[in-house]
Amino acid sequence: MDSRISGRIVRTPEGYPAFAPDSLPPELTWTPEMVRALSDADRSLGRLAGEGAWLPNLHLLIRAFIRREAVLSSRIEGTQASLGELLAAEAGASVDRSPADLREVANYVVALEYGVERLSSLPLSLRLLRELHARLMEGVRGGQATPGEFRRSQNWIGPPGSRPENATYVPPPPAEMLEALESLESFLHDTSLPPLVQAALLHYQFEAIHPFLDGNGRVGRLLITLFLLEKALLPAPLLYLSAFFEATRPEYYGRLLGVSQRGEWNAWIEYFLNGVARQSEDAVSRAARINGLLDRWRSSFAGAPSRATVDLVNLLGENPYWTVPGVAKRLEVAYTTAQRAVQRLEMEGILSPLTDARRDRVYCAQAILEILEEPARLSLG
């Protein structure tokens, strides 16, 4: 490891070598490749921001997008719950998935929604990161790892059963960690770099510091979304990089480690910017196709005697799974009104019933679920 490039080697109290990253920003070499990657990312993100601001029912689509992000970010950490399982469970269906897995994903949703709301009263800061961590780790595996508190002991990254002496990566000890966190918080308010490059550096630095005993990867990915919102690069939380990171997981970890071990800043930044461009285009495509379906369905019910039918179509952008009682409660209509609306959509082939003997029957708009569950797009255009 060339410790002169992006950090220094320090010793843990137990005598093991650990890595303490240098303060940001590093000296960057603005190669044509990096400039082109930044241009592509800016253009794609700008398109998402522009089109996102005008999307009908944007507030409903965001709910589905947040849940997709929660599933994919948690999957990187080993949680197996699918998006369909999470959405079905929220609608009241019984799903064949560990409650612990569902709780971990649900906590990510809570943390992200909390963070978006909290930005209106608290800037992105170490305090907010601790608050996010507390909500992320509440009542789940690893919840004993001091939720909402920075670690006071050494941690490390490696295969199961590894120790600091044979770990893949050992973050800074607690004393150096606190110094690095203070520097990170100062860099949050830096304005010397393009925001997307700053976001790439922030994500790397947070992961290199690894300030919590558990949940660092998820908090680090939350940091990206909240930073883009705070910088007003997006009108709403529509862009998430977890899908890209999950689809390119070996490269994701390899690029992060490449900075720590070899100072490969350009390779990491270009990879990150490529992810922004691809996921921006992917989000535009998914949102447009979902809205196209909703528009077509709304038009077919424009003359319906009850407004509830069109209102139910709108709700499908939020969650393709619904029960009759759920529709009645959400639309604040009588059970029979909701039932007629569900039956109308079922007759048109928009909703399909699922078998669930223990609860009210759950219906699914399969066409929307398929768009949401598509694998991440790994090419532009």
pLDDT tens digits, one per residue of 227-281: 999 999 998 899 999 999 999 999 999 999 999 999 999 999 999 999 999 999 9
- Residues in the chain with pLDDT values less than 70: 1-4, 141-144, 355-359, 378-381
Select from 143, 200, 152 the least CA-distant residue to 175. Answer: 152
Count of CB atoms situated within 10 Å of the CB of 293: 18
Q: State residue 261's pLDDT score.
A: 93
Which domains occur in the chain, in start order?
A: 3-37+57-276 (1.10.3290.10), 286-373 (1.10.10.10)
Instruction: Answer whether 10's CB lies under 8 Å from 17's CB.
Output: yes
Beta-bridge mates of residue 21: 7
Q: State residue 378's pLDDT score.
A: 67
Q: State residue 379's pLDDT score.
A: 58
Q: State residue 357's pLDDT score.
A: 47
CA 51/CA 301 separation, integer angstroms:
26
Instruction: Answer whether 149's CB lies under 8 Å from 130's CB.
Output: yes
CA 362/CA 321 separation, integer angstroms:
7
Going 99 to 104 to 107 to 108, the CA torsion angle's sign is negative
Count of CB atoms situated within 10 Å of the CB of 352: 14
Instruction: Answer whether 10's CB lies under 8 Å from 172's CB.
Output: yes
Residues listed for the chain: 381
Q: State residue 381's pLDDT score.
A: 42
Question: Does the predicted TM-score (pTM) go above 0.85?
Answer: yes
CA 287/CA 234 separation, integer angstroms:
15
* Cis amide linkage into residue 25, ω under 30° from 0: yes
Pairing verdict, β 321-323 and 362-364: antiparallel
CA 372/CA 63 separation, integer angstroms:
12
Q: State residue 266's pLDDT score.
A: 96
